[in-house]
Amino acid sequence: MARFIIRALLYLVLLFPTKIIFNIMKNILITLVFAFIVLGVGFAQNKNTQPQQNKTDQKSTVQKDNKTQQQEAKKQEEKKQEVKKEEKKEVKKELNPRIENCNPTGYVRDITETLKSSGYKFLRSYNLEGPSNKPIQHEYTLSKGTTYAIRIASYVDSNLKVTLYDPEGRVIASTYDSENQKFYPSIEILCHKTGVYKISFEHHFNKRDFCGGAVLCFKR
């Protein structure tokens, strides 16, 4: 490139007068300077633009990564919520299973068959079935001096209990022993006062459906 320029200058010296050559060289120098200035500005702009572009690309990448992480975290949280819902459903199903083909009459019959050997006589029976969101309650007039018993039967682990209230509303007997945390199949009392007593059936630890039977009996 340098050799080409030198040869061109020599050629001009030979062909043209000194003044003309001077003007031509002046114009060439001006053109070269202008060209270098343009190239320098363009290079500087390109150099300044490149880091900004890199920063923009990096920022965009970080934003995408953050957005992806947020989406993943949201998905994980949704999965956790779904798992919790399923667990609640399972717990609810376990605590409140639907009892299908319940046969309270069968429970009552089984209880009644045991009365003869114990000396008790049948008074009345109670069929226990359906939702147990509230106790099943009945009233019965008991006579002073008579011994009464209430026997219950239900499915295994039902935690069914019966509570007997006197005419004043005080608890006088229950099949659940809170001190020992045990359930018993019957209660027995000697009535000391004639009056209307309330009999309440409920599940102690859960809200399972009722499916069972009970018998009120007596002896003198």
pLDDT tens digits along 152-170: 998 877 788 999 999 999 9
Secondary structure letter of residue 188 according to DSSP? E
The whole-angstrom separation of Cα 112 and Cα 90 is: 36
Per the structure block, which two tokens stand in for 68? Answer: 């992806």
* Band of pLDDT at residue 119, cut at 50, 70 and 90: very high
Instruction: Reply yes or no on whether the pLDDT at 189 is more than 90.
Output: yes
| Residues 61, 67: Cα–Cα separation, whole Å | 10
Question: Across the chain, what does the average pLDDT equal?
Answer: 79
Residue 174 banded pLDDT, cuts 50, 70, 90: very high
107 vs 157: CA distance, rounded Å: 15
Q: Which two tokens stand for residue 185?
A: 């199949």
127 pLDDT more than 90: yes
How many C-beta neighbours within 10 Å does residue 107 have? 25
Average pLDDT over residues 106-117: 92
Would you state the pLDDT for residue 158?
A: 78
Residues sharing a CB contact under 8 Å with residue 190, sequence separation 6 or more, in sequence order: 145, 146, 147
* pTM of the complete model: 0.55
pLDDT tens across 73-94, in order?
888 888 888 877 666 555 444 4
Evaluate if residue 5 carries a pLDDT over 90: no
